Structure 1
Amino acid sequence: MFIKVFASAALFLVSAASFAQTADEMAEQARQLEKQMKDAAALSLYKDALKVQPDNVAALTGASEVSSREGARAGDKEEKSRIFAEAKSYAEQALKVAPENADANYVMAVAISRIALSAGAKEKVAASKEVKRYAELAIKFNPKYAKAYYVLGKWNYDVANMNTLEKAAAKMLFGGMPEATLQEAIVNFEKCRKMDPSFLPDYPELAKAYKENDELEKCIEVLRKAVTLRPIYQDDLNIKSACKKMLEDLE
């Protein structure tokens, strides 16, 4: 009897380990699909991985990040909202499992920032503080997290350019917003570029910040570099096209 129980327990442990390994392998395959510009297929595979292991952090963070991108591409407003809500839900689950995981904090910052795009002034201001908090946590847990610096750069740029209504909402809700400057946005965008020169979304934002800061030569240099980069992710082709258009308008 003891031998049977022991054998059953051992088999259970082996099965559990194999399931976990399978979920990790599926998440890795999904990451490769992302790099082949196949976000829909990647998201489907992340979801399959979560059926095998619902608390797999790699699958949860991957599903959240891809959902945020898929939502941004959706044409219908309701569809956008639904997909962004899913992105946030995946991020919340990842944070419950691993609150000190840099990826989990980063995807939460991204999901909140996406949702805030269609929110009112008060909601947008409240969300902005959360975006900053999660981006800074991602950097705390991984000081070389390039994409988190990009989010922080976006935060600085957006807050520095808040309109009158948003500033009024910030003052009413929080007594004002944390200090944000165009110069700090540039610093963060440049950190992202240094840590991951292949991350294309950083380039048009950095170029815009340089242009607004009256540094036209640096703006042009960034755009020229952007159009030479190899597209990796699904949105990269459109980002390169946007950079090319910006460059043509300046030269």
Structure 2
Amino acid sequence: MFIKVFASAALFLVSAVSFAQTADEMVEQARQLEKQMKDDAALSMYKDALKVQPDNIAALTGASELCSREGFRATEKEEKSRIYTEAKSYAEQALKLAPENADANYVMAVAIGRIALSSGAKEKVAASKEVKRYAELAIKFNPKYAKAYHVLGKWNYEVANMNALEKAAAKMLFGGMPPATLQDAITNYEKCRKMDPSFLPNYLELAKAYKENDELDKCIEVLRKAVTLRPIYQDDLGIKSSCKKMLEDLE
């Protein structure tokens, strides 16, 4: 009897390990599909991994980040909202399982930021504080998290350029917003560039910040570098094209 129980327990452990390995393999396949610019297939693979192992953090964070990208590309407002809500849901699940996971905090910052883009002034301001909080937590748990610095740079840029209605909402809700400047945005974007020189979205936003800050020479230098980079992810082609157009307009 003991032998049978032991054998059953051993079989259960082997099965659990097999499922975990299978989910991890699916995550790796999804990451490769992302680099092949096949985001739809990658997202589907992340979701399949979650069917096998619902608590796989890498699958949850991967699915969340891809949903945020997919939502940004969607043209219908309702579709955007649905996909962004899904992105946030995956991030919430990841944070519940691993609150100190840098990826989980990063994808939550991204999801909330995406939702804020299509929100009213009050909602946008409230979300903005959460974006900053989660981006800073991602950096706290991984000080070399390049994309989290990019999000923090974007936060500084957006807050520094808030319109009168948004500033009024911030004052009413929170008594104002934390200080943010274009220079803060540039500093964070430059940290991102140093840590991950291949991350194309950062170049476009850094160039915009330099232009806004009347540093055209640096803006042009960033754009010239951007157009030489190899696109890695699906959105990189459009971002590189935007960099090229912006450079042509300036030169």
Q: Please indicate, yes or no, whether the TM-score normalized by the shorter chain is above 0.5.
A: yes
Q: What displacement does 1:135 show?
A: 0.2
Aligned to 1:246: 246
Aligned to 1:86: 86
Report the count of equivalent residues.
251
Aligned to 1:55: 55
Distance 1:88 1:14 in 2: 33
- What are the equivalent positions in structure 2 for 1:1-251 lying under 5 Å apart? 1-251=1-251
Distance 1:115 1:214 in 2: 30
Task: Write out per-residue CA displacement over residues 69-127 of structure 1, whole angstroms, 9 at most, x where no aligned residue.
Answer: 00111111111100000000000000011100000000000000000001000000000
Distance 2:177 2:215 in 1: 26
Letter in 2 for 1:202: N
Letter in 2 for 1:86: E
Task: Write out per-residue CA displacement over residues 3-58 of structure 1, whole angstroms, 9 at most, x where no aligned residue.
Answer: 10110011001100110111111111101110110000000000000000001000
Letter in 1 for 2:168: A
Which structure 1 residue ranges, 4+ long, deviate > 2 Å from structure 2?
A: none
Task: Write out per-residue CA displacement over residues 144-190 of structure 1, whole angstroms, 9 at most, x where no aligned residue.
Answer: 00000000000000000000000000000000000101000000000
Normalised by the length of structure 1, the TM-score is 0.99
Distance 2:104 2:28 in 1: 16
Distance 1:80 1:118 in 2: 9
* Structure 1 SS opposite 2:119: coil
* Structure 2 SS opposite 1:201: helix
Q: What displacement does 1:239 show?
A: 0.3
Letter in 2 for 1:3: I
Letter in 2 for 1:235: D
* Structure 2 SS opposite 1:224: helix
Distance 2:56 2:37 in 1: 23
* Structure 1 SS opposite 2:200: coil
Distance 1:198 1:32 in 2: 16
Distance 1:128 1:91 in 2: 17
For structure 1, the residue ranges without an aligned partner over 5 or more in a row are none
Normalised by the length of structure 2, the TM-score is 0.99
Letter in 1 for 2:95: L
User: Share of identical aligned residues, percent?
Assistant: 89
For structure 2, the residue ranges without an aligned partner over 5 or more in a row are none
Distance 2:218 2:158 in 1: 20
Q: What displacement does 1:63 show?
A: 0.1
RMSD of the alignment, in Å?
0.4
